[in-house]
Structure 1
Amino acid sequence: MVESQSSKSVPYATFSSFINFSNKLREEGVPNRIDKTVFGAASGSVIYSTISALKSLDLIDENGVPSLKFIDFVTSTDEERKQKLKDILRVGYASLWDGSINLETASAGQFNDHLRDVYDVKGSTIDKSAAFFISAANFAEIPLSSQLKARKPIASSSSSKKSSKQRKKNNGNDPKADSELPAQPVVPEKPLEHQLVDLMTEDDLDADVKDAIWKLVQYLTAKRAKSSVFN
C-alpha cells in the first residue's frame, strides 16, 4: 500500500504558466522574493496557482524566497532546463520514483488513483495536477506510457457522456426519458483553498479582498499540511 504524502501538495497550475513565468524571469532577472508584484498583468488565478506550484516543487520557500535550484533553472537554456526539470520533478513527486508506480506502463486511471491516494488530490483538481505533470514530463523527456500521454480529462469525459444522453432524450430516442427523473449533478469535491484561488479570478474583487483571500489560502494550506503530519 502506498504511504500517503498528503502533507505535500502537487502543482495544479498550467505548465505553460510555469514556463512563461520562468522565461519572464530569465529576461528580467530573478528577484529576491517571488510575490504577486513580479507577475505583471497576469490574472489572479495564474499568479496564485504558479506561486503554489513553486512552493510545491521547493523552488521558493513560504516567504517567496527563491532557491538556488530555481535560479539555476531560470537562467539555463531551454535544452539545459530539460535535465534540471527532471531533477526538480523527482524531488517534487518523489513517490513516482519509489517503485509504487511505473510511469512507462501505468494507465491513466492508475495515475489518477496515485494522485488521490498519495497526494490527497480531489475532484476536478486531479485533471489540473495530472496535466501539469504530464506536460512537465514531456518537456523533461521523461518516458511515459502511451496511456498516460493520451490521458483525457475526467470532468470532460463525464460531461460529454451526460450531454450525449441528454441529446438522445431531447430527440425522443430514449423510451425511458418520460419516466426517468433528471440525474442529480455530481459536484466534485474540491479543496477549499483551490476554490478560493478560483474565486480570485472574479473581475469585481479589489486588491484588498484578493490579499485577504490569499492569506486565507495560505492558512488553510498550512493547516492541512500540519494536520497530515500529526494524523
Structure 2
Amino acid sequence: MTTSNSKTLPPYVSYRTFWNFLDGLQAAVPARIDRSFWGDKLSGSTGGQLIGALKYLKMIDGNGVPTLRLKQIILTKGVQRSNLLKQLTQEAYPFFLMELEPANATYAQMEEKLKEHFQIAADVGRKCIKFYIGLAQDGGISLSPFVTRKSKAFHTTTSSRKSRRNLPRGNDTVVEQNPDPPTPSNEQLAFPPSPPVQSLGQMLMSKFPDFDPTWTDEVKLRWFQAFDELIQKFPGIKR
C-alpha cells in the first residue's frame, strides 16, 4: 500500500496530556477548541499534536467545533465510557485491529502497518503505538503481550536516561525531596476539620442520570440540554 503525506497521522501526543485536557473540559466545553483555549499551558508543538489527535478521533470537526462524541466521552464514566472508547478505537485503528490479530501481533508488525498506511518517522511511530495501547486498554480491548511489554521497555529505557541526567555530580548538594510531615498541634488533634457539606448543586448532580449511548438522538439532545442548564446554574460542580 502506498503512503501519503496528506494523511492525518494517528495521535502521537502524550496519552496523559490527552486525558488531562479532556478532564479539564468536564466543567464546561468551549464552542471551539483552538490554541487560545489553553493559552500558555501547552507548548506550540504539544498543542498542535493535541488538536491533530482530536481531529483524527473525530472529537472535533475541521473547524475545531466539539462533536457529540467528545461530549459523550467527557460526561460518561465506568462501563459506558469504556464502551465508547472501544468503539472509537475500532473506528480509528482498523489497520491494527482488522489487518492484524490484536491478541498476538508483534510490535514490529504494528510498526510495519503504520509505515504501510502513513509516511511516518520511527520515533513518531512509537508514540503513535503508545497512544493506541493506552486507548485500546481503556476501551477493554485485549492486546498482545509482545506489544505491551515492548512499549513498557521503551518507557523504562527513556526514564532511566532521564534519571541518570538528574543525578547529582561531584560536590552537588543533595536536597531531601520528602521531608517528614509536621506534627499536628494539640488543637488540630482535638478539633479535626469537619467534612465538607455537600452543596445543592452536588446533590442535584448525584441524582442526574448517567448518559446512555444507546438512547435515541432526541433523548441524547434533551440530556445534554438539561446537563448544560445544571452546569450554568451551579458552576464548578463536577460529575
The TM-score with structure 1 as length reference comes to 0.60
Distance 1:4 1:83, change over 3 A: farther
Distance 1:15 1:108, change over 3 A: same
Q: Is residue 91 of structure 1 aligned with residue 91 of structure 2? A: yes
Inter-partner Cα distance in structure 2 for 1:96 and 1:123: 17
Q: Could you say which residue in structure 2 is the equivalent of 1:10? A: 10
Aligned length: 155
Q: Is residue 46 of structure 1 aligned with residue 46 of structure 2? A: yes
Q: Is residue 71 of structure 1 aligned with residue 65 of structure 2? A: no
1:1-231 equivalence runs, <5 A: 7-26=7-26, 28-44=27-43, 45-98=45-98, 100-151=99-150, 152-153=153-154
Inter-partner Cα distance in structure 2 for 1:109 and 1:9: 18
Give 1:40 deviation, angstroms.
4.9
The one-letter code matched in structure 1 to 2:38 is F
Deviation string, structure 1 residues 170-213 (Cα, Å, up to 9, x no partner):
xxxxxxxxxxxxxxxxxxxxxxxxxxxxxxxxxxxxxxxxxxxx
Counterpart contact for 2:133–2:148, Cα < 8 Å = yes
Deviation string, structure 1 residues 56-106 (Cα, Å, up to 9, x no partner):
1111112101111111111112442211111111111122233x2111110
Inter-partner Cα distance in structure 2 for 1:30 and 1:80: 20
Inter-partner Cα distance in structure 1 for 2:64 and 2:138: 25
The one-letter code matched in structure 2 to 1:23 is D
Counterpart contact for 1:59–1:66, Cα < 8 Å = yes
Give 1:133 deviation, angstroms.
0.6
Give 1:8 deviation, angstroms.
3.7
Distance 1:78 1:17, change over 3 A: farther
Counterpart contact for 2:3–2:115, Cα < 8 Å = no
Inter-partner Cα distance in structure 1 for 2:123 and 2:149: 18
Unaligned residue ranges in structure 1 (runs of 5+): 161-231
Q: Could you say which residue in structure 1 is the equivalent of 2:183? A: none
Counterpart contact for 1:60–1:70, Cα < 8 Å = yes
Inter-partner Cα distance in structure 2 for 1:11 and 1:46: 11
The TM-score with structure 2 as length reference comes to 0.58
Counterpart contact for 2:3–2:116, Cα < 8 Å = yes
SS of the residue aligned with 1:25? Answer: coil
Inter-partner Cα distance in structure 1 for 2:140 and 2:38: 28
Distance 1:19 1:107, change over 3 A: same
Counterpart contact for 1:21–1:39, Cα < 8 Å = no
The one-letter code matched in structure 1 to 2:85 is L
Inter-partner Cα distance in structure 1 for 2:11 and 2:145: 22
Inter-partner Cα distance in structure 1 for 2:120 and 2:88: 20
Inter-partner Cα distance in structure 1 for 2:67 and 2:8: 18
Give 1:110 deviation, angstroms.
0.9
Deviation string, structure 1 residues 16-70 (Cα, Å, up to 9, x no partner):
11111111001x2111101112225422133221111001111111210111111
Select the structure of larger CA radius of gyration. Answer: 2
Q: Could you say which residue in structure 2 is the equivalent of 1:206? A: none
The one-letter code matched in structure 2 to 1:17 is T
Inter-partner Cα distance in structure 1 for 2:41 and 2:68: 25
Inter-partner Cα distance in structure 2 for 1:75 and 1:37: 23
Inter-partner Cα distance in structure 2 for 1:107 and 1:42: 36
Counterpart contact for 2:107–2:147, Cα < 8 Å = yes
Give 1:3 deviation, angstroms.
6.9
SS of the residue aligned with 1:18? Answer: helix
Distance 1:119 1:78, change over 3 A: farther
Inter-partner Cα distance in structure 1 for 2:79 and 2:50: 22
